[in-house]
């Protein structure tokens, strides 16, 4: 199969806390009243990216990958490893936690979830929950969930555009209202809610909590120093690059393109970038493709050299 740059159409989710900015500001076309999440890069049973261009147009990315074989994922992947989202939190998300691989595979039959958040934009005064203010016991955790005092011990953090948060599995967390996030995570949709502000779902009933599982997996202490690097680096010719996160599951960069940048998709890993502002033209030896704000690529491992020309801010992920 020929290797070429692909533009992806994202499955969209309309959870109760979402807004309309992904439609109005990021170009998502849908009849949904609101779009909470846009699954920009997705090969999951709960959502599949569709290839928009080239000979594979109309296929799910998963269907293409199943036929193309593991080489297009690169030397570092055995199964499709990532799920990348744009998230519009008009209201607070539930306070939640994700399990690690061992627990998730044993209990849920899929990967656990370590993730990172890049703050694309936010309203003044916006905050999120990131771990605990201080260590607590399992007994106190369970009691505070039961009597609705959990927020008293949660670590509330003010956020600003461009901030990065590394959310290791087991970290209690919640995105606050008024925040747009680009989330890069393991390919998992397992979430354990412990507090949901007393809201009800579309069926008029309180949304399910997962207290026992959350107690099993939550790290009941403040978050330790985040294992990400934010120094400016220069490994991409012609662009300013910032390494946002590097761990066993993903490596993520912020790129500010102004002019022409020269990049390479090698044999080690596929690449995926999401344009967060502006637009770029991607060129290879035999193809040209324009990406606007809110659009995402899949670049197969082994694609080789390519250029990005334009003025844009984007997040590029690989493994």
Q: Are 248 and 153 contained in the same domain?
A: no
The count of other CB atoms within 10 Å of the CB of residue 264 is: 13
Shared-domain flag, residues 196 and 74: yes
Examine the domain organization and report whether 39 and 137 are in the same domain.
Answer: yes
Tell me the mean pLDDT per 10 residues along the chain, length 319: 93 96 97 97 96 97 94 90 97 97 96 96 98 97 96 97 95 98 96 92 85 97 71 68 90 94 93 98 96 98 96 96
Q: Given this model, what pLDDT does residue 235 score? A: 62
Select which of 106, 193, 207, 283 is catalytic: 193
CATH number at residue 249: 2.60.120.10
Among candidate residues 217, 245, 269, the one where a domain is terminated: 217
Say yes or no: 152 and 253 in one domain.
no
Q: Are residues 56 and 122 in the same domain?
A: yes
Res 212: pLDDT: 97
pLDDT, position 76:
85
Neighbours of 144 (CB within 10 A): 18
Q: Are residues 258 and 132 part of one domain?
A: no
Q: Where is the domain boundary, 184, 217, 250?
A: 217
Is residue 227 one of the residues assigned to a domain? no
Asked if 73 and 154 sit in the same domain, the reply is yes
Query: What is the structure's pLDDT at 205?
Result: 85
Q: Which residues pair with 154 in a beta bridge?
A: 132
113 and 147 in a common domain: yes
Give the CA-trace dihedral at 102, 107, 111, 115, to 10 degrees.
Answer: -90
Does any domain span residue 13?
Answer: yes
Query: What per-residue confidence (pLDDT) applies to 227?
Result: 52
Q: Which of 178, 193, 217 is the last residue of a domain?
A: 217
Which among 105, 96, 106 has a CA at the least distance from the CA of 191? Answer: 96
Q: Are residues 175 and 273 in the same domain?
A: no
Residue 252 lies in a domain: yes
193 catalytic residue (yes or no): yes
Which residues constitute the domain of residue 281?
232-318
Is residue 278 located within the same domain as residue 200? no
On whether the CB atoms of residues 93 and 128 are closer than 8 A, the answer is no
Does 88 reside within a domain?
Answer: yes
Statement to judge: residues 108 and 237 lie in one domain: no
Query: How far is 199 from 242, CA to CA, in rounded Å?
Result: 38
In a domain, 287, yes or no: yes
CA distance 293 to 222: 36
3-state helix, strand, coil in the chain (%, to 5): 15, 45, 45
* Domains of the chain: total: 2
241 shares its domain with 156: no
Is 171 among the domain residues? yes
Model pTM? 0.95
pLDDT score for 313? 97
- Longest distance between any two alpha carbons in the chain, whole Å: 62
In a domain, 244, yes or no: yes
Q: Is residue 226 part of a domain?
A: no
């Amino acid at each position: 199969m020929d290797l070429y740059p692909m533009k992806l159409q994202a499955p969209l989710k309309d959870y109760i806390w979402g807004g309309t900015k992904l439609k109005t500001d990021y170009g998502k076309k849908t009849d949904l009243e609101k779009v909470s999440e846009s699954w920009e890069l997705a090969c999951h049973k709960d959502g599949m990216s569709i290839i928009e261009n080239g000979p594979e147009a109309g296929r799910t990315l998963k269907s293409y990958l199943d036929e193309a074989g593991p080489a297009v994922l690169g030397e570092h992947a055995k199964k499709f490893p990532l799920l990348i989202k744009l998230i519009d939190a008009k209201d607070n998300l539930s306070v939640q936690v994700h399990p690690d691989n061992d627990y998730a595979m044993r209990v849920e039959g899929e990967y656990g979830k370590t993730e990172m958040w890049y703050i694309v934009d936010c309203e003044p005064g916006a905050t999120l929950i990131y771990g605990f203010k201080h260590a607590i016991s399992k007994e106190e955790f369970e009691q505070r969930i039961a009597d609705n005092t959990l927020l008293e011990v949660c670590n509330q953090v003010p956020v600003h555009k461009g901030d990065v948060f590394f959310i290791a599995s087991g970290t209690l967390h919640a995105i606050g209202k008024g925040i747009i996030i680009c989330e890069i995570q393991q390919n998992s949709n397992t979430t354990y809610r412990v507090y949901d502000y007393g809201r009800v779902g579309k069926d008029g009933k309180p949304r399910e909590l997962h207290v026992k599982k959350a107690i099993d997996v939550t790290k009941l202490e403040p978050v330790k120093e985040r294992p990400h690097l934010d120094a400016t680096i220069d490994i991409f010719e012609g662009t300013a690059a910032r390494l946002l996160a590097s761990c066993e599951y993903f490596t993520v960069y912020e790129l500010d393109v102004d002019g022409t940048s020269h990049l390479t998709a090698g044999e080690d890993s596929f690449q995926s970038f999401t344009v967060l502002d502006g637009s770029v033209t991607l060129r290879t030896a035999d193809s040209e493709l324009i990406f606007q704000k809110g659009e995402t690529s899949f670049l197969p491992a082994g694609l080789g050299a390519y250029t990005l020309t334009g003025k844009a801010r984007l997040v590029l992920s690989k493994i």
